[in-house]
Chains A and B, each alone.
Chain A
């Protein structure tokens, strides 16, 4: 008795029902859809504890990071069990992750050569973490569900929608409450992006030292030719100083690229969602899906390329042979 699998068609009815329900809610109930307040620093969910290093508190972005970590752990367990089953062909989400990692590995091999084994884990970890973290932006309710707190001079007041408290926008300074989201995308927190950038750039230096030893630092402090070749030696020394500056600017550009893209994306979703609360946002969700993936990929790719460059110094050829 063979059964032909019926194509699942109920999914589109769910989408259609959600669509109709959304229009009905929006037009029928005359809900005042407020744009969430755009705040640059992450908001505190708990009362800050004073420590010698500064106030410590749980923020919505920290919750999102834990959330992303849990997703990655679950993925790892899922992949592990799928591999242990012994199927040669991985399907579903496991297959997708395999394809992604295969692509990243191929790319690392092309750039880093024999350092692939050392550099690939950093590339893959950064890309996976940032990708999952960026995609938490796409979950409805992130950055819009949270605690309502008193705040004088804000531009929101509480309105009741079907027994649920929500915020309505009023004139600037006329409101009395504000919203502190439970979950806020972690990439919109500069603490996260700067920390990740610092780790990446620090590991670039570590790979440089591991491959070239002390000779790596002649890249920064190149006094070798100052007296033997007066003009070009001095130029080389100046270039070395510029290299130091460029290491710091790497941290800045890493951190601000990710932060800027994802923060701008979430503001875009806010604006579109408050202008046209039904349907229009889905197009921008697709856009943000791509932006999140590409930014994660670019972050990892740049880190990998810098690491690979650090392993290949100018005088590296004979040096590497001596090690091999």
Chain B
């Protein structure tokens, strides 16, 4: 295997490995949404506040996955 092919192979494997971090964000978003839906079910009047805080929580959890995505994109298209 020549060096160029090995470089591409390494890039693809590295980008795939980088995206493993999305597991945590997925689980986190699921937990946030489940908690928020339960809260809304118990107390429908608080839907507005719960929704706002849910979106905030999801945004923070999602940020981790976005870092992974950016790292993967950088590996694939920049280096």
Contact = CB atoms under 8 A, between A and B. Distances in A.
A257 B61 CA distance: 11
B63 A301 contact: no
B32 interface: no
Nearest to A41: B78
A263 B73 contact: yes
Contacts of B77: 38-40
B55 interface: yes
Interface in A109-123: 110-111
Nearest to A172: B8
Interface in A139-169: none
B68 to A, nearest CB: 9
B72 to A, nearest CB: 9
Contact of A256 (B49, B55, B56, B70): B70
Given A256-B70, A260-B66, A301 B78 contact: no
A302 interface: yes
B59 interface: yes
B48 A257 contact: no
A108 B21 CA distance: 33
Contact of B66 (A38, A39, A257, A305): A257
Interface of A: 38-40, 106-107, 110-111, 253, 256-257, 259-261, 263-264, 294, 297-298, 301-302, 305
Query: Chain A binding site: helix, strand, loop or mixed by DSSP?
Result: helix
B52 A297 contact: no
Contacts of B62: 257
A297 B55 contact: yes
Interface of B: 48-49, 52, 55-56, 58-59, 62-63, 66-67, 69-70, 73-74, 76-78
A264 B69 contact: yes
B29 to A, nearest CB: 12
B12 to A, nearest CB: 14
15 contacts: A38-B77, A107-B48, A107-B52, A110-B49, A253-B63, A256-B66, A256-B67, A259-B70, A260-B66, A260-B69, A260-B73, A264-B69, A298-B55, A301-B55, A301-B56
Contacts of A301: 52, 55-56, 59
Contacts of B56: 301-302, 305
Contacts of B67: 253, 256, 260
B26 to A, nearest CB: 15
B48 A110 contact: yes
Top-8 shortest CB links A-B: A260-B66, A253-B63, A260-B69, A298-B59, A40-B77, A257-B66, A256-B70, A260-B70
